[in-house]
């Protein structure tokens, strides 16, 4: 069991006062059997009205609505969590799903819906061929296959810190041979979807006290990874950036079909097109 404190501050500065539109915040850690949320609060400057709701995936979403113009906006989230995810998880996969290919039940297939549908074009089929190359023979061990794809991705793509807005397409990541954690996650999810698995993107925080993991800035940082649904085991966590399985050092905030649905802070403003000056993000994850 580990008690962690996560502090996340996103700040915007403008060259002149602007009228901020409502901002959407996804900052509250997502509770599960492996993570208990002890405390969480969000502070907004200037003062704003904050309302909470859950989206279609069950993520906690806050909306901050401002009363008037400002030249600075800051969002500060502080969470305290108890993390009990094992370092070496064991998965009770249904006998019928232990070997790939297998068939999801009708109910599972219906409920997975778009989570089993690819989100990016692959007209030349290069991504599908890349994923299919990990399949050893007519049948293969399901968990070993998923682990091989996660680990193999790291052997194909070199990690890089990208400050660019947005995410590369899976094919672009394969062609460039470089990508950030969010690019790794998207490529992995698209690859396993091409093989018929249901999968989803996860965003949250990475706890790295030894500062030895990719995607980390100090002892902790924002991070992106993936989950794959396997009957019996349920949603299995894969972090292809660090070639790991399980959530021992991961604090999930949001799960989604598409990574664009997991932005920690999203919003806009009414004002001059060149009014925006800069944005800073500060994150710490400490025990």
* Burial (CB count within 10 angstroms: exposed 0-12, middle 13-18, buried 19+), residue 166: exposed
Distance CA 125, CA 165 (A): 26
Which backbone phi and psi does 161 adopt, to 5 degrees? -80, 120
Distance CA 258, CA 228 (A): 14
Tell me, what's the pLDDT at 207? 92
Would you say the C-alpha torsion 140, 142, 147, 149 has a positive or negative sign?
Answer: positive
CA neighbor of 171 nearest in space, from 129, 228, 116: 129
Consecutive sets of 10 residues in the chain, 287 residues long: mean pLDDT of each?
Answer: 94 97 98 96 97 97 97 98 94 97 97 96 93 93 97 90 80 93 96 98 90 59 95 97 93 97 96 94 92
Tell me, what's the pLDDT at 154? 86
Residues 6+ apart with CB under 8 A from 63: 22, 23, 24, 25, 50, 51, 52, 53
Instruction: Please identify which residue in the block is written with the tokens 């969002």.
Output: 75
The strand pair at 2-20 and 70-83 is best described as antiparallel
Judge contact between 215 and 222, C-beta under 8 A.
no
Tell me, what's the pLDDT at 160? 87
- DSSP alpha helix (H) spans, 61-204: 106-112, 126-132, 142-156, 170-176, 181-194
Task: Describe the crossing of helices 181-194 and 142-156 by its angle, rounded to 10 degrees.
Answer: 140
Helix (H) or strand (E) holding 36: strand 35-45
What Å distances lie between residue 123 and 21, 26, 126, 127, 128, CA to CA?
Answer: 38, 34, 8, 9, 10
Task: Give the three-state DSSP class for 103.
Answer: coil
Structure tokens given for 82: 């108890």
- For residue 145, the tally of other CB atoms under 10 A from its CB is 21
The structure's pTM equals: 0.94
Tell me, what's the pLDDT at 217? 60
Judge contact between 7 and 207, C-beta under 8 A.
no
Distance CA 24, CA 47 (A): 15
């Amino acid at each position: 069991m580990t008690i962690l404190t996560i502090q996340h501050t996103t700040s915007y500065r403008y060259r002149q006062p602007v009228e901020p539109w409502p901002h959407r915040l996804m900052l509250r850690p997502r509770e599960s059997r492996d993570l208990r949320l002890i405390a969480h609060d969000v502070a907004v400057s200037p003062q704003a009205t904050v309302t909470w709701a859950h989206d279609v995936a069950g993520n906690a979403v806050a909306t901050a609505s401002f009363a008037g113009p400002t030249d600075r906006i800051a969002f500060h989230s502080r969470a305290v969590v108890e993390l009990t995810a094992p370092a070496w998880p064991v998965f009770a996969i249904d006998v019928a799903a232990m070997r790939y290919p297998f068939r999801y039940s009708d109910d599972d297939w219906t409920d997975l819906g778009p989570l089993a549908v690819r989100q990016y074009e692959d007209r030349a089929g290069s991504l599908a061929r890349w994923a299919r190359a990990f399949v050893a023979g007519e049948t293969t061990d399901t968990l070993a296959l998923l682990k091989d794809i996660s680990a193999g991705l790291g052997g194909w793509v070199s990690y890089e810190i990208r400050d660019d807005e947005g995410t590369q397409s899976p094919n672009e990541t394969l062609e460039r041979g470089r990508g950030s954690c969010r690019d790794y996650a998207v490529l992995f999810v698209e690859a396993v979807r091409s093989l018929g698995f249901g999968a989803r993107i996860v965003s949250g925080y990475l706890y790295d006290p030894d500062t030895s993991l990719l995607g980390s800035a100090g002892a902790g940082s924002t991070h992106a990874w993936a989950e794959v649904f396997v009957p019996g085991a349920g949603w299995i966590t894969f972090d292809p950036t660090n070639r790991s399985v399980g959530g021992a050092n991961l604090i999930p905030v949001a799960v989604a079909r598409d990574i664009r649905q997991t932005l920690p802070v999203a919003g806009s403003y009414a004002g001059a097109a060149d009014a925006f000056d800069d944005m800073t993000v500060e994150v710490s994850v400490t025990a």
